[in-house]
């Protein structure tokens, strides 16, 4: 026969989530410093946050990472050797003049970012789903979006830019080559899409600049709306057709002309700000209308302060002009022919695309084009405070949040980062991100 009493003591000390419990009496004993399982719970949520964040990081995978040890000032310096000119022909017996040698330093500074949410004890108790887990997953998405936006916006400051050709829809012929983002158009007659020819041109620019490749290819981060137009070309190669799964970058969708494309919903979508404090657009206010070259136009349809639009771009009938002065009811610009303008014709913001069309930035990368600082002790950190720690005298709420340090991105080699500006067939509907 079995001695059941032999197992009786097993229930007197049961490991629970927050303490020890006696299975027979329900009496609890707090964990001591050497015996606690609370860190296991936090580790689970840490993993959830980091996995959710990493799955949404696209730009960071192309960065040159630089560690920043703890107890150091929050500035990192990258150094690169200056290049030499090609050798000149020697004159017999004459010692040539030597070249100067040096190093260029580029610095980046870390800043701290973070956010949190509070969950009440009642919500945690009564909710059908695990609200702490749900909040952790969403915090991971927030962390990724924050990091992506910081990198994206830092990269946009690079001045190595290519504008997509203005293409005639009916013939496919190049109508013009824009020299500014305000000249990008998307209408019934023309578009400025990222075409295979523009990809080929971008590759050519990078080759001429002797930009080193990443694993034998250039890489580009592209918005889904731009990718939609590009993937319709028969020369497009889907990612799964050329690479084994372990070699595919996060978000990679395919290749064209030696460029591996990574799709990212956070890639820049850009539109000009509202023209008026109470209206996005304005309308022409002149009963006789305008024709020929003009230097000013009267408007209504919104409240505009004097000089508020100076330096902004507007478009009328698809023609763009830069505002040099404005009053509350008139715009002034260099002599421009907008064609025939009738009363109530819409005046659109055109700081990016003409006629309020969204413009998109696709970043083409070579090796080590930009750097990201990895601060010791400042990496993405999940922070959970249980209601017993922080919930006040009645333990009424817990908090879930994260923080991290980053420099966003520091451009190391401007020639290795090429920004290609385009429109898309979704330019009329996509919102600024």
- Tokens of residue 210, six digits: 């002797």
Please return the burial class of 418, using the count of CB atoms within 10 Å of its CB with bins 0-12, 13-18 and 19+.
buried
pLDDT value of position 37: 40
CATH 3.30.9 corresponds to the domain 42-80+104-269+356-433: no
Distance between alpha carbon 40 and the CA centroid of its chain, in Å?
A: 33
pLDDT of 6 strictly over 50: no
Nearest-angstrom CA–CA distance, 424 and 231: 12
Point out which residues pair with 150 in neighbouring strands: none
H runs (alpha helix) in 209-322: 224-230
pLDDT of 39 strictly over 50: no
pLDDT value of position 4: 45
pLDDT value of position 232: 82
- Tokens of residue 409, six digits: 């991105």
**How much is the CA Rg of the chain, to the nearest whole Å?**
30
Helices 38-54 and 131-155, axial angle in degrees (round to 10): 40
Nearest-angstrom CA–CA distance, 412 and 158: 10
- Tokens of residue 206, six digits: 């990078």
- Name the DSSP letter for residue 179: S
Where does 247-329 show beta strands of DSSP type E? Answer: 252-256, 259-263, 269-270, 282-284, 293-300, 313-316, 319-326
pLDDT of 298 strictly over 50: yes
pLDDT value of position 10: 53
pLDDT of 119 strictly over 70: yes
Nearest-angstrom CA–CA distance, 270 and 230: 19
pLDDT value of position 52: 59
Where does 285-356 show beta strands of DSSP type E? Answer: 293-300, 313-316, 319-326, 330-337, 346-349
- Name the DSSP letter for residue 87: P
Beta-strand relationship, 218-222 and 259-263: parallel
Element (H, E) at 38: helix 38-54
Nearest-angstrom CA–CA distance, 159 and 415: 9
| Closest of 107, 133, 100, 109 to residue 119, by C-alpha | 133
Given a contact cutoff of 8 angstroms between Cβ atoms, the answer to whether 133 and 397 are in contact is no
Task: For the chain, give the percent of residues with pLDDT over 90.
Answer: 59
Nearest-angstrom CA–CA distance, 16 and 212: 56
pLDDT value of position 433: 86
pLDDT value of position 249: 84
Q: What is the pLDDT of residues 316-336, one digit of tens each?
A: 998 999 999 999 999 999 999
């Amino acid at each position: 026969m079995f001695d059941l009493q032999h197992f009786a003591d097993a229930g007197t000390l049961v490991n629970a989530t927050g303490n020890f419990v006696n299975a027979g009496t329900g009496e609890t004993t707090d964990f001591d410093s050497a015996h606690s399982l609370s860190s296991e719970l936090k580790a689970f949520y840490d993993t959830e946050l980091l996995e959710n964040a990493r799955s949404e990081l696209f730009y960071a995978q192309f960065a040159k990472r630089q560690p920043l040890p703890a107890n150091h000032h929050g500035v990192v310096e990258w150094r690169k050797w200056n290049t030499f000119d090609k050798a000149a022909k020697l004159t017999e017996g004459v010692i040539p003049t030597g070249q100067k040698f040096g190093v260029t330093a580029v610095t980046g500074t870390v800043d701290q970012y973070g956010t949190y949410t509070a969950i009440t004890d009642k919500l945690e108790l009564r909710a059908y789903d695990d609200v702490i887990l749900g909040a952790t997953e969403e915090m991971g998405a927030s962390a990724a979006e924050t990091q992506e936006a910081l990198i994206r916006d830092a990269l946009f400051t690079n001045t190595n830019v290519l504008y997509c050709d203005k293409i005639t829809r009916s013939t496919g012929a190049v109508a013009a080559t824009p020299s500014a983002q305000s000249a990008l158009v998307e209408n019934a007659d023309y578009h400025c899409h990222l075409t295979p020819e523009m990809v080929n041109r971008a590759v050519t620019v990078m080759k001429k600049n002797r930009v080193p490749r990443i694993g034998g290819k250039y890489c580009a981060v592209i918005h889904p709306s731009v990718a939609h137009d590009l993937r319709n070309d028969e020369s497009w190669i889907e990612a799964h057709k050329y690479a084994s799964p372990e070699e595919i970058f996060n978000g990679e969708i395919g290749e064209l002309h030696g460029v591996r494309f990574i799709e990212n919903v956070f890639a820049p979508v850009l539109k000009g700000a509202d023209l008026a404090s109470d209206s996005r657009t304005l309308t022409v206010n002149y009963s006789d209308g305008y024709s020929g070259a003009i230097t000013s136009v009267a408007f209504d349809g919104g409240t505009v302060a004097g000089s508020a639009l100076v330096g902004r771009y507007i478009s009328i009938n698809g023609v763009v002009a830069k505002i040099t002065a404005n009053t509350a009811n008139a715009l002034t610009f260099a002599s421009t022919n907008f064609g025939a303008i009738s009363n109530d014709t819409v005046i659109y913001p055109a700081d990016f695309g003409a006629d309020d069309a969204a413009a998109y930035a696709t970043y083409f990368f070579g090796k080590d084009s930009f750097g990201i600082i990895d601060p010791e002790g400042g990496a993405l950190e999940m922070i959970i405070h249980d209601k017993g720690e922080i919930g006040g005298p009645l333990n009424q709420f817990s908090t879930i949040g994260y923080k991290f340090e980053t420099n966003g991105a520091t451009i190391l080699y401007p020639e290795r980062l090429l920004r290609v500006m385009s429109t898309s067939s979704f330019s009329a509907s996509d919102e600024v991100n």
